[in-house]
Chain A
Amino acid sequence: MPSPISLITAESCVGEMMRAFPATTAVFLRRRMHCPGCHMAAFMTIREAAASYGLCVEELLRDLRAAAPLAEDGRRL
């Protein structure tokens, strides 16, 4: 049964993703983004978070996916 977040995409919810993959929290901290623990994280997508900080969403996604674990079939989550 796939988890609610089976892929980290630009439309993923920031809060849900951090909860599913706590390691991604470190990516936000490194980039000096205030998403960890932010009340708005539950309501914003990664695309919106990137836009709020004026960042390239593709670069952010790359970092987040690199921080997240691999699924059993070797697919990056």
Chain B
Amino acid sequence: MPKTQTLDPTLLDAVDVFAGLEPAGRERALRAAQWIRLAAGRQIFQQDQEADAFYVLSVGRLKVSQLTPEGQEVTIRYIGPREMFGCVAVCGGLAYPATATAVLDSWALGWTRRNIADLAQDYPQIALNAMRTMGGRLKDTQARLREMQTERVERRIAHAIARLVAQAGRRVENGILIDFPVSRQDIAEMTGTTLHTVSRTLSAWQERGVVELGRQKLTVCDPHGLVMIAEDLPNAD
């Protein structure tokens, strides 16, 4: 692996925090940067480590992985040339949420938080760019949170239907019928949610063929499908 890397100035174009900088600012940013050399297998930073620097990859390939609460190592994504990583250092995060490991011999350009703070003094555009990146991340996080809340409610509804099946199910031609009149309102009350949410959820499931709805009548057409929702089972590989 070469001991030095020639710097391609256009690499800066790939760094969103330096967008819209005048040439003098770009010069300063390039001079502040540090080359980081990573042999394959080396980690550049670890999950939960203090996030003091962010990087853009020049050459090579990295793997970004996380240890889940269940103790499993999961690969989140791969980083290729001209992609940024460790951005949480710019967004004001305190710790890296994941571990970055080189899978090929790699070179990256890095800036510390201190570098950015200093540069931002003279080039406020940098601070504005960072704010915009943070805003984007916040939006993504909020969307994911909403998704998770929806998933929880759906699991509760699926569980409730499974219990009704266990209690009063009867095998019919197109599935398992819940053999007594049950309304969306009943299910809403069983699950501590609203009629609106139950209606929306059951309609979506009907589209997918998991259930079939009648007048106060519910048939489970895809029992395994319902259980996959209720138990949050992973899809078959």
Residues of A in contact with B (beta carbons under 8 Å apart):
34, 38-40, 42-44, 48-49, 52-54
A43, B176: Cβ atoms under 8 Å?
A: yes
Q: Known: A39-B166, A43-B165, A43-B176. Contact between A34 and B223, CB under 8 A?
A: no
Per the bound structure, the CA–CA distance linking A38 and B176 in Å amounts to 14
- Whether a CB of chain A sits under 8 angstroms from the CB of B171 is yes
A34, B231: Cβ atoms under 8 Å?
A: yes
Contact check: which of B163, B171, B231, B236 meets A43 at CB < 8 Å?
B171
Per the bound structure, the CA–CA distance linking A72 and B176 in Å amounts to 36
- Whether a CB of chain A sits under 8 angstroms from the CB of B134 is no
Question: What are 26 pairs between A and B in contact, CB < 8 Å?
Answer: A34-B227, A34-B231, A34-B233, A38-B227, A39-B162, A39-B165, A39-B169, A39-B227, A40-B162, A40-B165, A40-B220, A40-B226, A40-B227, A42-B166, A42-B169, A43-B165, A43-B169, A43-B176, A43-B223, A44-B223, A48-B224, A49-B224, A52-B223, A53-B224, A53-B236, A54-B236
Per the bound structure, the CA–CA distance linking A43 and B165 in Å amounts to 9
Per the bound structure, the CA–CA distance linking A44 and B162 in Å amounts to 13
Per the bound structure, the CA–CA distance linking A14 and B166 in Å amounts to 14
Which A residues touch B166, using CB under 8 A? 39, 42
Per the bound structure, the CA–CA distance linking A44 and B165 in Å amounts to 12
Per the bound structure, the CA–CA distance linking A34 and B234 in Å amounts to 12
Q: Please encode chain B, from 143 to 177, with 1 for each CB lying within 8 Å of some chain A CB and 0 for all others.
A: 00000000000000000001101100101000010
Interface centre among A43, A49, A52 (most CB of B within 10 A): A43
Per the bound structure, the CA–CA distance linking A38 and B169 in Å amounts to 13
Per the bound structure, the CA–CA distance linking A40 and B166 in Å amounts to 7
Q: How far is the CB of B211 from chain A (nearest CB, A)?
A: 13
Q: Which residue of B lies closest to A43 (CB)?
A: B176
